Structure 1
């Protein structure tokens, strides 16, 4: 695999850099973040953004969406059409990336924060003109820090709702379960450990049984037992509806961000 450069050494960029089996070169305007990463084997720090671009044929943009516009002029000047690009910036469509970079060799990643544990779930989509070689290379990069799913870009907003943002939803659910345990007499640290283990066992059951989750839940519900009482409470609290509303809210926000990026491009006269 050709040398990969990573621009941005924050939580996600740093996690990706540490997970890759081959050496990478990184750059961040925050020297401390960049130097902290160089303690890991195979990670080199670039002396400047220009240095990274000179040394990398594949570049992963791991900066916040609002930072990208200030970088585009510099990126485009450095033979951008000859490079393969990957962006993890939420809300910045492939069409905008391709036009601003002057290259159609662009792939979008939508990873979740579990990249730091090499357990991310990442959606990826490529520009229609992206080569098979660059698409395969991008997929291998995504798989180095978790599972990768090839989606249409139009499905990214939905993916954010059920994966990218859903980690926070699930963590909130874990907290609520743990607080329920506290209410019933189990100290929070122990309750949280139990809930975490239960999440792991639930995932193992769901992924190996291949049964519908409702079928599995029904198996747990004995007639007149404890579980069905709790299930009734969830139904009365419109649990399913609230979860679906959370997915819709995150999805809508993502769509609005992409629409804004496209609108900004039109306002600046780029069509």
Structure 2
């Protein structure tokens, strides 16, 4: 069976490892993780039975596919450490670091290095991520397909041009925080109306999950779902009127656009 290596053993790396194991794409003995923190190495080794090491080059020696799962601020140091060990024929590098454009990697790595850039989100923890993939200058369609297969283990995948990655980051990358804020507001609204908080939380979560399932299974867009719930002069239209008066839709649009601009600003700083 093929091997796969991780440079960085944090939360997202763990989510991917768990997905790969659960889907049977790799066995524990064929997964190698480089992680500088001894306690984290011990945790990953004991929990998932994977190989853990403290030197990045050891992962490159044993694996053809390498997932770069380190924070953006340490990526340059990591690339400088591993560049001499990269075999452009053997290695496919897949980065999940936010904000770093492909040009950042291609300036630091050997000419011809095959690279795939991926923007997953934290829903990967429960295998419900939506991951956007884009390929570097030297990556092949086969490389892209291979990366899609890996990330399908933690949810859905889409392939986009790199010019869309900042918008993806603003929407789905940061999106779980927006959804959490909305759910928190629903819960507080229920409490304001007199519901006990545990009951309000249960109602809010079930409502959000059910609404999403309706859209997916009935193949209806958000407007159609809204129309299904909204009756003349009823409670729903009364609440929606307040949302519109307070500028809720516009606020969401503006927030995502500001996040997009910030992501673009960070990307350009490294391009």
Unaligned runs of 5+ in 2: none
Report 1:8-27 matches (<5 A). 8-21=8-21, 22=26, 23-27=30-34
Distance in 2, Cα, partners of 1:50 & 1:210: 48
What is the aligned partner in structure 2 of residue 53 from structure 1?
60
Structure 1: which 5+ residue stretches go unaligned? 263-271
Residue 108 (structure 2) aligned to one of 69, 91, 100 = 100
Deviation of the 1:194 alpha carbon: 1.3
- Equivalent positions of 1:1-271 (< 5 A) are 2-21=2-21, 22=26, 23-81=30-88, 82-102=90-110, 103-262=112-271
Decide which moves more: 59-68 or 212-221: 212-221
| Divergent runs of 4+, >3 A | none
What SS does the corresponding residue of 1:77 show, helix, strand or coil? Answer: helix
Is 2:35–2:54's contact at 8 Å kept on the other side of the alignment?
Answer: no
Distance across 1 between alignment mates of 2:34 and 2:201: 37
* C-alpha separation in 2, matches of 1:151 and 1:214: 26
The farther-off stretch of 125-134 and 65-74 is: 125-134
Show CA shifts across 1:68-125 (max 9, x none).
0111121101024231000011111112212312244100110000111111111111
In structure 1, distance between residues paired with 2:75 and 2:184: 35
Q: For the structure 1 residues 47 and 166, does the alpha-carbon distance in structure 2 shift closer, same or farther, using more than 3 Å as the test?
A: closer
Alpha-carbon contact 1:80-1:101 (below 8 Å) kept:
no
Please give the per-residue CA displacement for 1:48-87, whole angstroms capped at 9, x wherever unaligned: 2221121111110000100001111211010242310000
Aligned residues: 262
Q: 3-state SS of the aligned residue for 1:75?
A: helix
Moved more, 101-110 or 54-63: 101-110
TM-score, normalisation: structure 1: 0.92
| Contact 1:18-1:40 at 8 Å conserved across structures | no
SS of the equivalent of 1:232 reads helix
RMSD (Å) for aligned C-alpha atoms: 1.4
Whole-angstrom CA distance in 2 between matches of 1:223 and 1:79: 65
Change (3 A) 1:118 1:212: closer
Checking the alignment, whether the CA contact within 8 Å between 1:110 and 1:123 is kept in structure 2 is yes
